[in-house]
Amino acid sequence: MENNERNNKQISSPVIKPAAKNASLAAFTDSSPATNVAASNATVATKVDKTTEMATTKSAAAPSNGSVGAKAYEMAKAQREISIAEFFEKNRHLLGFDNKRKALLTTIKEAVDNSLDACEEADILPEIIVEVTEMGMDRFKVVVEDNGPGIVKKQIPRIFAKLLYGSKFHKLKMQRGQQGIGISAAVMYSQLTTGKATKIMSKIHPSEPAHCFDLKINTQKNEPEILSETEKDWHKDNGTRVEMELEATYIKGNQSVDEYLKQTAIINPHVTIIYQPPKGEQIMLVRATDQKPKQAQEIKPHPYGVELGMLIKMLGNTTAKSIKQFLMQDFSRVGDKTAEEILENSAILSNTKPHDVSRDKAEKLMEGIKKTKIMMPPTDCIVPIGAELLEKGIKKEVNAEFYAAISRTPDVYRGNPFLVEAAIAYGGDIPKEGSMTIMRFANRVPLLYQQGACAIIEGVSETNWKQYGLQQSGSNLPQGPVVLVVHIASVWVPFTSEAKEAIAHYPEMIKEIKLAVQEVGRELSRYLNKKRRVGDEMKKRSYIELYMPHISEAIKDILKLTDVQKKELEVQLSALLEKTRGKLEDMDFDPDKNEEYDEDLASIGREDEDDEYDDDAGGDYEDKKERASSGKKTKGKEELKESAEKAEKKAKKKKESEDDE
Amino acid sequence: MTDVVKKIKGTAEEIRQNVLAGKKAELETPVRSLNNVFYNEKDGFFELKGQKKKRTLTASTVKTFAQTLRVMSLSKDLVETDDIATKREAYYVSKNWGEARFHEQPESDAVMDDIEAMFGVNREQLGFIADEHGGSVAGELIVIDKDPVSGKELRIDCTKFGSGSYSIPSDVELLKFETKAKFIIAIETNGMFERLNKHTYWKDANCILVSMGGVPTRACRRFIRRLSDEKNLDVFVFTDGDPYGFLNIYRTLKVGSGNAAHINEFFCVPRAKFLGITPKDIDEYKLPSHPLKEVDIKRIKDGLKNDPFIQKYKSWQNALNALMKSGRRAEQQALAKHGLNFVISNYLPEKLKNQKSWLE
């Protein structure tokens, strides 16, 4: 049991107090002010402005006659609680539920991300089952099942049926989930679109039964509503299973569930995913390595990364007796000397009690922090995928003639350590027309939407690719047969919205992205130069063979040489010319050279080639895409058949080449 | 064995010996461009400065070597059998050479020019002749040629062609001349030549008329040069009043070109003077004119900047600058504004009389 508790992340998470929630909001105000409203304790007063808010609290007691504050009283009538459901309805796009296609992807993504995080924290090799079943017109059932540590019974309802409940928000640690919105938002969406409850089954130990819940969210109170609660036998030793129905559309292509799962498998080579799409056969994405990624370490916040609201909250919660002790104990990289310096720069006495620090003083403290030179936070808390595994991943996906991957050393933005990795594939089977394909990842999660708004794209398109041998006009994405993978890992990835689709444009981060893609760009240009040299050399070699006979022939004619003399001349000529040509290396693309390439995997999520072309042209215009991809829902079978044919062809080709030998 | 054949054999033998000895095989040709010529004032032509380019036989030059040797071999055959091939014909002969064949005629022309420069001979001596005919002649002149079949002497009277004219052959080296004419007029356009011939202007002025038909061919230049040298005749050049007429036609006739600098010595006509149409004529005769084209302006600038001949003569610099300033150009035919035969009745007599109106 003790063991289970340790493995169970949710147990360790504190029950969030309202105060904590308010404070936590401050931390992500910069990315999305709208979520603030929803985030406070289940319901909030409509925020008009500060004065009316004050008026609201008194409105019940105050007499409604008289002209004093009449307007405020009048306004107060319109001020009422917003239910979390109403908020969700209005802001579903912020959470990734803009439309039916995206709702399906987001639901699965949230569940899978949670499973992977849990497995990683519990040091389990993840095996995840995903089932999508069509239940009728625009209605799908989604099942996500993992072999993770499970969730203790008490916590299940709140984890799944209470928004903003989770263990991750208060941790500075490299992990997929961040704020505890995702899966409960999916539950809410399911409930809103189908009226059905979400079924959860979770088991934490072989000797314990599995606990099953049917859950809904009380949308007025943002509290779980338990419809049924039973115990069951489950063949698994431990794990969690989520089953929900929702209004959704299933598509193929760049922004599909298939693509997401595939990219997840590529970027997490230690994961096995068993996926049953609504149509067609089951897809097995088997792990490529048994090596689990190193456990990411949780770190304390760095003073540079803290904002005022967060600081005030931390001051209120600390166990430290003095402000100096608070700085040293609750922050990373603050020792005795640095703490003294900060306090000196803030003009605050070092024995001030943290609870006595006023808002004004806290602001002074912020200024003091800014003035003080503080060592950057430790960066060993970031776990890179590593150049080798990244390259393996991209090799699985594309059959190219050249690959390169790099993993940069960590850097820091606003006190948060982060790290950029990049991999590139060139030529081979990659289509020669069109822009390069970019696969974006943040903390090992594929980013499929909002490409145009993402810092990764900015970093890539602001890089001058011409110097690396690719065509590029202005600061557009370069053209050519290139697939580029960029992975950003951080204890806190700055997304542009809660839907976690694009990375915010922090200069430090863009700089690192550029350095990373430049590094692989240089590798690419080295390869392309070499290829050109070899090409020239090949040309020269053929030149010699083509033209040498004409030299000996002409000299023979002019000097009336005998055939023997001509032969003699040719031998010497040939020897002379051999000397002038360089060594030759075969650089032709050999489709069978890449042993990692998995044709079946690569074809997952892809539509017919023509369709895909349209998709690329459409870019981020999602409406267009929706139109383009609706009505293509029935292609699953044909596609499978096609990929089977391709595999057959490949096998046949291999056999032929063996026969040749 | 002629000189040319000796040179061809010598080159081939040298390459062969070097290759057999495992040494570098090389071909050396003078650089053919305006940058590599200077204006030899004393003798009056563009002379090579002596920059040479050396081509070593390597994997990347093997094609040029093959083609050069192939053309040399063809030249040797032509000379030995006393035959000729036009530049175009030579290009077609190369079609038998498999991969060493030329894809466009300018490629084979360039190789010929290289060999010419390499050996310091002219193309005709290699057995290759120009494709186009050398120009037309009318006037008090008897050309003494040989009958191609019998080899007997042929006397050609250039006054006896009626409304037609005598065509300059591609090889003028062995022609002889008899004339009582006082000077030669070399005319840019065939149209103007026809007009003057039709009205037997050559009789009135006691001169020989030559139509160059644009930039004069080598044969035309050599013909005028020999005629002028041997019969001590002045040469007046009559072109359009534009940079093409001044630089490409007149300058090439008088001092030669950068591209064929290795043979300018024989193909220049140092005695030539520019009669018209000068920029001053455009004003004084109030000739209808057209605006200069972009390419004209480029030619003027290029001439002022790079042409050693223009750089020598202030009068030419002034003429080019005047043209540039006015931004206008006028054709020979523009004289027709004052009557079709104004050129015969007024322009040419006036110009010929007024020595100051000539340009050097």
Q: What's the domain range around A179?
A: 91-285
Backbone CA torsion sign across B336, B339, B340, B341: negative
pLDDT at A416: 84
Considering only the beta carbons, identify the residue of A544, A558, A581 that sits closest to B76.
A558
Contact between A572 and B22 using a beta-carbon 8 Å cutoff: yes
Which fold does the domain B3-129 belong to in CATH? Arc Repressor Mutant, subunit A (1.10.10)
Residues A177 and A229 in one domain: yes
Q: Which structure tokens are listed for B155? A: 């006397």
> Residue ranges of chain B with pLDDT lower than 50?
none
**What's the DSSP call for residue B248?**
I
Phi/psi of residue A220, nearest 5 degrees: -75, -40
**What's the DSSP call for residue B169?**
P
- Would you say residue A420 lies in a domain? no
Residues A200 and A321 in one domain: no
pLDDT at A47: 39
Distance (Å) of CA A43 to CA A140, A186, B254, B281: 30, 19, 100, 97
Contact between A548 and B66 using a beta-carbon 8 Å cutoff: yes
- Would you say residue A617 lies in a domain? yes
- Contact criterion met (CB below 8 Å) for B141 and B185: no
**What's the DSSP call for residue A479?**
B
Residues A341 and A243 in one domain: no
Mean pLDDT for A358-374 is 90
- Would you say residue A514 lies in a domain? no
Query: Which residue has better confidence, A78 or A580?
Result: A78
Residue A54 has pLDDT above 50, yes or no: no
Residues A260 and A319 in one domain: no
> What CATH class has B136-357?
alpha beta
Mean pLDDT for A261-270 is 88
Q: How confident is the model at residue A640 (pLDDT cuts 50, 70, 90)?
A: very low
Mean pLDDT for A596-609 is 65
Q: How confident is the model at residue A39 (pLDDT cuts 50, 70, 90)?
A: very low
Residues A134 and A235 in one domain: yes
- Would you say residue A554 lies in a domain? yes
Query: Which residue has better confidence, A134 or A21?
Result: A134
End residue of a domain, out of A230, A259, A285: A285
Mean pLDDT for A482-500 is 86
Write out pLDDT tens, residues A406-420. 999 888 888 788 999
Residue A586 has pLDDT above 70, yes or no: no
Q: Where are the domains of chain B?
A: 3-129, 136-357
Contact between B62 and A544 using a beta-carbon 8 Å cutoff: yes
Provide ipTM, 2 decimals.
0.74
- The per-residue pLDDT of chain A, averaged, comes to 78
Contact between B12 and A555 using a beta-carbon 8 Å cutoff: yes
A587 Cα to chain B: minimum distance (Å): 20
Residues A258 and A312 in one domain: no
What residues 558-587 of chain A have any CB closer than 8 A to a CB of chain B? 558-559, 568-569, 572-573, 575-577, 580-581
Domain count along chain A: 3
pLDDT at B50: 79
Burial A525-560 (b: 16+ CB within 10 A, else e): bebbeebeebeebbebbebbebbbbbbbbbbbbbbe
Residues A163 and A263 in one domain: yes
Residue A2 has pLDDT above 80, yes or no: no
Q: How confident is the model at residue A49 (pLDDT cuts 50, 70, 90)?
A: very low
Hey, of B8, B14, B16, which one would you mutate to test binding to chain A, going by the most A CBs within 10 A of its CB? B16
Residue B39 CA to residue A33 CA, distance in Å, equals 81
- Would you say residue A528 lies in a domain? no
Size of interface A-B (CB pairs under 8 A): 80
pLDDT at A17: 37
Percent of chain A with pLDDT over 90: 30
Considering only the beta carbons, identify the residue of A543, A569, A573 that sits closest to B63.
A543
Residue A537 has pLDDT above 80, yes or no: no
Residue A344 belongs to domain with CATH number: 1.10.8.50
Mean pLDDT for A300-319 is 86
pLDDT at A588: 64
B63 Cα to chain A: minimum distance (Å): 6
Write out pLDDT tens, residues A390-399. 888 888 878 8
Looking at beta carbons, which residues of chain B come within 8 Å of A555?
Answer: 12, 15-16, 69
Grouping H, G, I as helix, E, B as strand and the rest as coil, residue B315 is: helix
End residue of a domain, out of A285, A314, A343: A285
Q: Which structure tokens are listed for B151? A: 């080899």
Contact between A559 and B13 using a beta-carbon 8 Å cutoff: yes
- Cβ contacts of residue A231 below 8 Å, gap of 6+? A209, A210, A211, A212
- Three-state SS for A12-68 is HCCCCCHHHHHHHHHHHCCCCHHHHHHHCCCCEECCCCHHHHHHHHHHCCCCCCCCC
End residue of a domain, out of A371, A401, A430: A371
B6 Cα to chain A: minimum distance (Å): 10
Contact between A547 and B72 using a beta-carbon 8 Å cutoff: no
Residues A172 and A118 in one domain: yes
Residues A224 and A175 in one domain: yes
- Would you say residue A215 lies in a domain? yes
Residues A139 and A232 in one domain: yes
- Contact criterion met (CB below 8 Å) for A419 and A390: no
Residue A169 belongs to domain with CATH number: 3.30.565.10
